[in-house]
């Protein structure tokens, strides 16, 4: 069964450093998403991406964050200057269409900021 | 008032029991409702996906949506130890917004 793949599974970074989280969405999917889950809290929406553009973003997704689809298969989330509060699980998701098709999630990248 | 509320549990049941998991929500614009299962150190895995009010059944799982009460449920029949996981409800309006709003998740343990 096709799945969303995320790398790395765990990333440890010094505060202030840049980090790039990578995702390979399901191949025929057109919509891509990033969510995060701080330990003990809800899964929160960050951003959605369609047709090489951000279609929606939350208040969390400030100027420190950016997303890119650098080629036909990868979808990345970059955090420019990491803060301690960026420590969380980051999940990538993809869907075939917008809302009529459900979102499928990867297993996440655990980001630890020291 | 929190947008989506879900009892975090933990909920512990014997094998074979019927499990009932619930979420309430406040945003009447929500039209699409999902249940995800999350095992430890894994991502959310889609279980059920429903639109508007009504019931949907898939094997041992039944999802119910009551939009008039802003209440959704997931029933698991003949629960198995392999059902032990955290269950997340999620929803979206679909009206130009596809972001999912999640509940906090209910941790379920099925005891053999």
List pLDDT tens digits, range B3-26.
Answer: 999 988 899 999 999 999 999 999
Spatial separation of the C-alpha atoms in residues B56 and B35, rounded to whole Å:
12
The Cα of A88 is separated from the nearest Cα of chain B by a number of Å equal to 12
Residue in B18, B17, B16, B21 with CA at minimum distance from that of residue B4:
B21
Nearest CA in chain A to B37: A105
Spatial separation of the C-alpha atoms in residues B85 and B73, rounded to whole Å:
16
- Taking residues B66-79, report their average pLDDT: 96
B105/A42 touch (CB, cutoff 8 Å), yes or no: yes
A45/B101 touch (CB, cutoff 8 Å), yes or no: yes
pLDDT at A48: 94
Tokens standing for B98?
A: 């596809």
Quickly tell me which residue has 């202030």 as its tokens.
A16
The A-side interface with B (CB below 8 A) comprises 4, 6, 31, 33, 35, 41-45, 48, 55-56, 58, 91, 95, 98-100, 102-108
A42/B92 touch (CB, cutoff 8 Å), yes or no: no
Compute how many other C-beta atoms are within 10 angstroms of the C-beta atom of residue A23.
26
Confidence check: pLDDT of B82 > 80: yes
Residue in B33, B37, B77, B84 with CA at minimum distance from that of residue B58:
B77
Kindly report the CA angle at B96 between A30 and B43, in degrees rounded to 5?
50
pLDDT at A70: 87
Residue B110's DSSP bridge partners are B13
Spatial separation of the C-alpha atoms in residues B49 and B57, rounded to whole Å:
10
The Cα of B20 is separated from the nearest Cα of chain A by a number of Å equal to 20
Option in B31, B43, B99 nearest A56 (CB): B99
Tokens standing for A70?
A: 């650098």
Option in B36, B97, B102 nearest A56 (CB): B97
Nearest CA in chain A to B4: A42
Spatial separation of the C-alpha atoms in residues A83 and A88, rounded to whole Å:
11
- How is residue B29 annotated by DSSP? T
Q: For chain A, what is the largest distance between any 2 Cα atoms, rounded to a whole number of angstroms?
A: 40
- Model confidence at B49, pLDDT cuts 50, 70, 90, reads very high
- Taking residues B53-71, report their average pLDDT: 94
- Which residues in A lie closer than 8 A to residue B94 (C-beta atoms)? 98-100
More confident residue, A98 or B81: B81
- For B54, counting Cβ atoms within 10 Å of its Cβ (0-12 exposed, 13-18 middle, 19+ buried), the class is exposed
The Cα of A75 is separated from the nearest Cα of chain B by a number of Å equal to 17
pLDDT in tens, chain A (114 residues): 779 999 999 999 999 999 999 999 999 899 999 999 999 899 999 999 998 999 999 999 999 999 999 887 899 999 999 999 999 999 999 998 766 789 999 999 999 999
| Radius of gyration, alpha carbons of chain A | 13
A99/B98 touch (CB, cutoff 8 Å), yes or no: yes
- DSSP-based three-state secondary structure for A26: coil
- Taking residues B96-100, report their average pLDDT: 85
pLDDT at A17: 97
- Model confidence at B94, pLDDT cuts 50, 70, 90, reads confident
Confidence check: pLDDT of B37 > 60: yes
User: What is the H or E stretch that residue A41 is in?
Assistant: none
């Amino acid at each position: 069964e096709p799945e969303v793949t995320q790398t790395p599974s765990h990333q440890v970074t010094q505060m202030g450093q840049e980090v790039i989280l990578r995702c390979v969405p399901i191949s025929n999917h057109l919509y891509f998403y990033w969510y995060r889950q701080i330990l003990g809290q809800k899964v929160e929406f960050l951003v959605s991406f369609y047709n090489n553009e951000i279609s929606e973003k939350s208040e969390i997704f400030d100027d420190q964050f950016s997303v890119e689809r650098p080629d036909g298969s990868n979808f990345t989330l970059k955090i420019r200057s990491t803060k301690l509060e960026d420590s969380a699980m980051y999940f990538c998701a993809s869907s075939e269409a917008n809302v009529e098709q459900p979102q499928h999630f990867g297993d996440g990248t655990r980001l630890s900021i020291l | 008032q929190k947008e989506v509320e879900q009892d975090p549990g933990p909920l512990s049941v014997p094998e074979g029991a019927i499990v009932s998991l619930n979420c309430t929500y406040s945003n009447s614009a929500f039209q699409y409702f999902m249940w995800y299962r999350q095992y430890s150190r894994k991502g959310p895995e889609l279980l059920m996906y429903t639109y508007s009010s009504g019931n949907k059944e898939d094997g041992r799982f039944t999802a119910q949506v009551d939009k008039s009460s802003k209440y959704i449920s997931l029933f698991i029949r003949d629960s198995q130890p392999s059902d032990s996981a955290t269950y997340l409800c999620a929803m979206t309006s679909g009206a130009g917004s596809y972001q999912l709003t999640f509940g906090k998740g209910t941790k379920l343990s099925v005891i053999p």
